[in-house]
Chain A
Amino acid sequence: VGRALLYLLTAAPLSALWFGLLLAGAIAIPLTAPTPLVVPVLVAYRALVWSGARLEAALVRDLLGVEIEAPLARFGAKGYLGRVRGVVGDPALWREQTFLFLRMVLGGALAVAIASAIGASAWLVALPAMYSSVDFDIGSWHVDRLGRALALVPAGVAGLAVSWFLVVGGARIWPPLARVLLAGGAGTAGSTATAAGEPTPVAHALRRALPFHAAFFVLLNAVLIAVWAFTTAGYFWPEWTLLTLGLLLAIHGWTVLVQGSWLGPRSAATRALRVHAGAAAAIGLFLVCVWAVTTAGYFWPMWPLLGLALLLGGHALTALAATRDRERLTERIDVLTTTRSGAVDAAEAELRRIERDLHDGAQARLVALGMSLGLAEQKLASDPDAALQLLTEARVGAGEALRELRDLARGIHPPILADRGLEPALAALAASAPLRVDVSAHVPERPPAPVETAAYFVAAEALANAAKHAAASHVEIRIYRLADVLTVVVVDDGRGGADPAGSGLSGIRRRVEALDGSLRVVSPPGGPTSVEAVLPCAS
């Protein structure tokens, strides 16, 4: 709920930003449309909208936990017409604009509503602590006494409950919208599964003891109250046992509750934190009760409460940091495990393919070649003409075998990549593609060979898909190295709908992930398809 609330509240500052952006676009583009000036304006506007969409996608991902990816921006071909057609004709632009608009209007309104609901309710709840210092009237009803202030607390609590529902409900609107508008329907819902651990022996004993503890509490107090009723019946002294033993029972009960499986995912650290929180709340309540039944004057429990809160806060912070560290490590281990097995699988499949190709291709041809030569040797004396024909056949066969071996070698590792590096290799790739390809590269320093190879095959695969499946006519390949990160982006203008789990793309993904990189494929139906690989170059 905390993250959902944060997400909903981010709409407030962002709505101002999106308002400015959309307005600027709506003014600047029509104004410059008849002039060539519109080209830089369009490109800048597209880049800004795309950055906005990316930011929103990141917010949805991090705060709402829904895995979505915004497609990469398409800027079209160089020149006036190309840019206008490329940018304005990009369905992703219109979807992203819609999402930003919704966040601006709906999100902004919701943020204001939630913030004011929470603020007002919290104020009402806090009123008993400050009724004397503030002036507050409801009609003619002047809140000037503790009783009246206390009477308003339930209203505040109800208000908080309403805000809670607003937050939970509001947070449900955005993921489907984001999935459709930001990711073009290509997002996948993230799911987390947590295994329920076995309860520890201590927890077990605590749970078994709880009914006895409760029974003991009820019995003892019943006895004491009976004694009080029959004897003095004046000052209600059993309140002290009720309170102190009640405190113990409450802490015990809470501890057992926390161990129960229905309170969500639990690590030892979270459990300890929850026990701590419950105990602190119980102690606080105990102190307030003591204060209420005794002096009820100066609110002295304020100080111990402050101390408790500080302790709890410190505990929560360290626990949170520790949990995060552990989560990061666990995640890293998961990633390494998957990518390692992926890399092994990919290498295995590749080796099998090479073996098959060699066996069916060059090897078979060499056998045939050997046979022709053997026959020619036999016939050389008796039938020189036939021998000559066999020798010609053998020569042609050797040429075929060579051609097959060359194709195979190129598929394993294109020679020009090793010789000259990524840029010339991609240029050669682009030149041999059956569609128009623009390559822009900025790779000042050659990355390690495995990274280069992976980057090359990402581009090759994306290009092959664009030509084969997407019916694209134009592809942009951008490749650049910033510090120690090499990024390959391939965007086409095809019909989209690529399956990221298809054999070609998943092979590429395994290859990229084995290098600790990441591959993102966004291909909503209707296009465009964008493939982005980010590869760390640290050797």
Chain B
Amino acid sequence: VIAEDLALLRDGLTRLLRDNGFEVVAAVGDGDALVHSVLREEPDVAIVDVRLPPTFRDEGLRAALEARRRRPETAILIVSQYVERSYADELLADGRGGVGYLLKDRIIDVDDFVAAVRRVAAGSTALDPEVVAQLLTRRRHGNPLDRLTPRELEVLALMAEGRSNAGIADALVLTVGAVEKHVASILAKLRLPPSETDHRRVLAVLEYLRSTSD
């Protein structure tokens, strides 16, 4: 399901997803229609613009959270012209995976975007690098993150975006083994428990970042 009020973007997104092997079961233009079509079509993932009519504020986010409340297995990917950390916090609040929050800019990089959609649909997370950057700022003094090497910080940021070890290795041009070493070192330095799934690991990292950023 796609919820986007601008027809140009809605059609473009539909075409892009169809070309990449997705089935678009509904493309709607406002929040109420989104909730209805999620309940009727039971999609794997809903892609939702934050700003929808009638208020053009955070209608989309609210509608998406409502849909997820009524059908908890719905995966949600929010796309927006801007990112705010607090919105990410609200999405992540229930502690389950299957959520994503990306700038619309990222759609341009089709392969990356499609990978993020698949990740969210599979129950993992996809956070925009800008959100992660907002989580990582303002941690200058006396913070455990100071103990990380620059490379480890890069890896941590990619982990927070929701990427798997393979994805991180791809992005940083490293071997998967090297990434695994970095990850283990990061988790040890931050005293986070190693997790059995990528998804749990992401949530732990995000929880950690959110708790230390205030």
Which residues of A are interface residues toward B (Cβ below 8 A)? 395, 398-399, 402-403, 406, 409-410, 415-416, 418-420, 424, 427-428, 431-434
Closest-by-CB residue of B relative to A397 is: B108
B135 to chain A, nearest CB (A): 9
> Are A418 and B86 neighbours in the complex by a CB distance under 8 Å?
no
> Are B104 and A402 neighbours in the complex by a CB distance under 8 Å?
yes
> Are B58 and A419 neighbours in the complex by a CB distance under 8 Å?
yes
CB-CB under 8 A from B104, the residues of chain A are 402
**B109 at the binding interface (Cβ < 8 Å):** yes
Docked Cα-Cα span, A476 to B137, in Å, equals 19
Contact A415 B138, CB 8 Å, known A420-B58, A431-B213: no
**A/B pair count, beta carbons within 8 Å:** 53
Docked Cα-Cα span, A433 to B213, in Å, equals 12
Contact A419 B57, CB 8 Å, known A406-B81, A424-B86, A428-B85: yes
Docked Cα-Cα span, A300 to B84, in Å, equals 86
Docked Cα-Cα span, A194 to B214, in Å, equals 56
Q: Which of A398, A419, A433 gathers most chain B CB within 10 Å?
A: A419
> Are B138 and A409 neighbours in the complex by a CB distance under 8 Å?
no
Contact A410 B82, CB 8 Å, known A403-B105, A418-B57, A431-B134: yes
Interface string of B56-82 (1 = CB under 8 A from A): 011000000000000000000000011
CB-CB under 8 A from A406, the residues of chain B are 81-82, 103, 105
> Are A420 and B86 neighbours in the complex by a CB distance under 8 Å?
yes
Docked Cα-Cα span, A395 to B81, in Å, equals 17
Docked Cα-Cα span, A357 to B133, in Å, equals 25
> Are B109 and A395 neighbours in the complex by a CB distance under 8 Å?
yes
Which residues of B are interface residues toward A (Cβ below 8 A)? 50-51, 57-58, 81-82, 84-86, 103-105, 108-109, 134, 137-138, 140, 213-214
CB-CB under 8 A from A419, the residues of chain B are 50, 57-58, 84
CB-CB under 8 A from A403, the residues of chain B are 105
CB-CB under 8 A from B58, the residues of chain A are 419-420
CB-CB under 8 A from A398, the residues of chain B are 108
Closest 3 CB pairs of A and B: A419-B57, A419-B58, A402-B105
Docked Cα-Cα span, A17 to B76, in Å, equals 64
CB-CB under 8 A from B105, the residues of chain A are 399, 402-403, 406
A433 to chain B, nearest CB (A): 7
* One of A416, A427, A431 near B138 (C-beta < 8 A): A431
Docked Cα-Cα span, A402 to B104, in Å, equals 9
CB-CB under 8 A from B51, the residues of chain A are 415
B200 to chain A, nearest CB (A): 26
CB-CB under 8 A from B85, the residues of chain A are 428, 431
What are 10 residue pairs bridging A and B, where the CB atoms are less than 8 Å apart in the complex? Answer: A395-B108, A399-B109, A406-B81, A406-B82, A416-B84, A420-B58, A424-B84, A427-B86, A431-B85, A431-B138
B100 to chain A, nearest CB (A): 18
Docked Cα-Cα span, A26 to B131, in Å, equals 51
B209 to chain A, nearest CB (A): 12
CB-CB under 8 A from B137, the residues of chain A are 431-432, 434
CB-CB under 8 A from A395, the residues of chain B are 108-109
Docked Cα-Cα span, A433 to B84, in Å, equals 14
* One of B86, B109, B140, B213 near A416 (C-beta < 8 A): B86
> Are A428 and B138 neighbours in the complex by a CB distance under 8 Å?
no
Closest-by-CB residue of B relative to A395 is: B108
Given A419-B58, A419-B84: 14 more A-B contacts, CB < 8 Å: A399-B108, A402-B81, A410-B82, A416-B84, A418-B57, A419-B50, A419-B57, A420-B57, A420-B58, A424-B86, A431-B85, A432-B138, A434-B137, A434-B138
Closest-by-CB residue of A relative to B56 is: A418
Docked Cα-Cα span, A403 to B51, in Å, equals 18
A372 to chain B, nearest CB (A): 13
CB-CB under 8 A from A428, the residues of chain B are 84-86
A424 to chain B, nearest CB (A): 6
Docked Cα-Cα span, A436 to B50, in Å, equals 30
Docked Cα-Cα span, A395 to B213, in Å, equals 34
CB-CB under 8 A from A415, the residues of chain B are 51, 81-82, 84
